[in-house]
A and B are shown apart, each in its own frame.
Chain A
Amino acid sequence: MSDIVVRNLVKAYTPGGPRATDDVSLEVAEGEFLVLVGPSGCGKTTLLRMVAGLERPDSGTVSLGGRDVTRLPARERRLSMVFQSYAIFPHMRVRQNIGFGLAMRKVPGDEIDRRVRRAAELLHLEEYLDRYPAQLSGGQRQRVAVARAIVVDAGVLLMDEPLSNLDALLRLEFRAELKKIVRQIGTTTLYVTHDQAEAMSLGDRVAVMRGGRIVQLGAPLDVYDRPSERFVGGFLGAPPMNFIPATVERNGDKPVLALGDQHLAAPSTLDEWVGRPVLVGVRAENIEVSTEAAPGWVTATVEVVEPTGAAVLLTVRLGEHQIKVQTAPGFRVAPDDTVWLRSTPEALRLYDPETSLVLRP
């Protein structure tokens, strides 16, 4: 096992052109599962490929287990990888596919056999060892790709959107299995995905990327709960975080948030922002909703009611802004009804409307 240390990696595919990764630094501790997440084109795959040695950085360094590997080709980096397209070899049987890395490293035949069998057991592939990939389903091929990656016992495991080619149900199932397997073998893992749910559920830590930079890095729930900027709140979570423009006003000695002509209690730390516009970020599940008026609550009009089974998702209009509200499954309401909303000041995140960055108290 080894840690991954990335220092100031810069890569531009065309010299002087836009940077795919822009001075990225990152440390993944030994045995940690770190997820790189971001929209397509944010540089996450480029970063992973530079760690793998499949792409050469313009500047910066990559170290694995304390060894500077920046100039080494992929085959000398002692790592393994699961590819988005699986990239298993169609002209080899499952057995040869899984054992490929071992055969390349000249491991003796009987040991290859033993280790392939163990990996196949771990991924429930025992019955398929003598088949060709063409005779397997998509899910099984993915298992072969994972088995091939874990059988080599490399210090570092890289995964490039390994679940994105599976259908939704299989993806959910395999996600949990993958988490279990990686925990069992305990390898340092760098995992790339554009699926925020995958990032949240798999990672010990999550790095959200945008425009070639890591914009926030932290434990999944921290990042979810306290997005450092508007983009992160909008990207992580389904539905995304609501953002409502408001103005900070003073009501007696306390600051309040004015949403149109309605007022909402604000965190007391907002004192110095009185009289200025802010962006209020609030998660759908942190909004309380009621069909009865109460003091301190704001009124809104229901536009869409979507029961999801585990909850009811409401789209409501608050002044001229549309926001999503999540409430308990038994909540009865119809479109065009008036509802009252409230949120505790602790659940509100406040952003500077100009920079989109969170306001530091």
Chain B
Amino acid sequence: MSRRAWVQVACVAITLFMGVPLYLIALAALSSRESLNRFPLPLLPTDPSVETLRTFLDTTGIVPGFVNSLTVGIGTVLLSLLIGVPGGYAVARYAFRGRGPYQMFLLLTRALPIVVLSVPLARIFLNAGLYDTTYAVTLLHTALALPTTVLITAAIFVGVSREQEEAAMVFGASPMKAFLRIVVPQALPGIAAAAMFTFVLSWNEVLGATILTLNQRTLPAQVLTTLSDSPLAYRFAGGFALVLPAVVFIAIMRRYLLNMWGTTLR
């Protein structure tokens, strides 16, 4: 077989690897409780029903958990972009003292297990009166997401030539305007990638969210605590509800991703 054909086979294999579990979990979540116990399990939606999903959604704490997760996710995306994009710009453009160590230091937050971070954080948040709020989880997730936001956007900013900014300034733009009108539009793919990464990270993060909240649980935290003593159908419905928003978010951000990793339109 030619090289090209192999690439296609690989593409199909990877697509299946990612797609099949998504399909199976969707199938299970949209089947009735009885059909899940049938053998062999049908691989096509023979009798679709929303009964399982409805049961899941009616369970206490699921809808508030969903809202909390969304609040935390979007809040984390906004906050980490607000802090991370200027940070990435600084790393890309300025040769300041200690840039190398700073970049290393940024990654250090990821080197520590979340549990190690969460316990002292819980103490701090308790003292500050932030414990058991979505703000607390948003702050934790922002801290976790910042390194990648900074590093991804820095990589993109390096790709936008400094001369373009200078040209904008010669032709009458202030540095801020040059950044907003010239650099940011070209960096959108990277910013979208960082946003996606951040949202998915926040949406999936369980440990920190469990430690930092009691009643204001995010969806995964809520599902996790109730998972062990739930029926099989509930688990499938929970899994589906967890996957869906992340998939939708990625689908929306995808169009900004056309030319990811610095190869912006030239």
Contacts and interface: CB of A to CB of B under 8 A. Distances in A.
Interface string A59-89: 0000000000000011100011101110111
Interface string B161-173: 1011011111111
Interface stretch (A99-107, A202-210, A213-221, A271-279): A99-107
B161 A85 contact: yes
Interface in A29-57: 52-54
Given A85-B161, A87-B164, A75 B169 contact: yes
Interface residues of A, number: 26
A246 B85 CA distance: 66
A80 B264 CA distance: 26
A114 B177 CA distance: 25
B186 interface: yes
29 contacts: A53-B170, A54-B170, A73-B169, A75-B170, A75-B172, A79-B170, A80-B170, A80-B171, A81-B167, A83-B166, A83-B167, A84-B163, A85-B161, A87-B166, A87-B167, A88-B164, A88-B167, A89-B167, A89-B168, A90-B264, A90-B266, A91-B265, A101-B172, A104-B168, A104-B173, A105-B172, A134-B265, A134-B266, A152-B171
Interface of A: 52-54, 73-75, 79-81, 83-85, 87-91, 100-101, 104-105, 132-134, 148, 152
Contacts of A87: 161, 163-164, 166-167
Contacts of B177: 104
B185 interface: yes
A185 B173 CA distance: 24
A91 B172 contact: no
B155 interface: no
The listed residue with most A CB atoms (<10 A of its CB), out of B170, B186, B266, is: B170
Q: How large is the interface on B (under 10, 10 to 19, 20 to 34, 35 or more residues)?
A: 10 to 19
Contacts, number: 63
Contacts of A101: 171-172
Contacts of A81: 167, 170
B163 A83 contact: yes
B169 A74 contact: yes
Contacts of B182: 89
A91 B189 CA distance: 12
Contacts of A73: 169
Given A74-B170, A90-B186, 18 more contacts: A54-B166, A75-B169, A75-B170, A79-B170, A80-B171, A81-B167, A81-B170, A83-B163, A85-B163, A87-B167, A88-B167, A89-B164, A89-B167, A90-B265, A91-B264, A91-B265, A148-B171, A152-B171
A90 B167 CA distance: 13
B171 A104 contact: yes
B174 interface: yes
Nearest to A81: B170
A323 B166 CA distance: 45
Contacts of A53: 170
The listed residue with most A CB atoms (<10 A of its CB), out of B172, B173, B265, is: B172
Nearest to A49: B166
A353 B264 CA distance: 55
B98 to A, nearest CB: 17
A307 B200 CA distance: 69
Contact of B171 (A84, A90, A100): A100
Nearest to A79: B170
Contacts of B172: 75, 101, 104-105
Contacts of B266: 90, 133-134
Nearest to B160: A90
A90 B266 CA distance: 5
A81 B266 CA distance: 21
A207 B174 CA distance: 32
B158 to A, nearest CB: 14
Contacts of A100: 168, 171
A75 B169 CA distance: 5
A78 to B, nearest CB: 9
B27 to A, nearest CB: 42
B264 to A, nearest CB: 7
A319 B139 CA distance: 82
B266 to A, nearest CB: 5
Contacts of A152: 171
B233 to A, nearest CB: 49
Closest 3 CB pairs of A and B: A104-B172, A101-B171, A87-B163
Interface in B175-189: 177, 182, 185-186
Contacts of B161: 85, 87
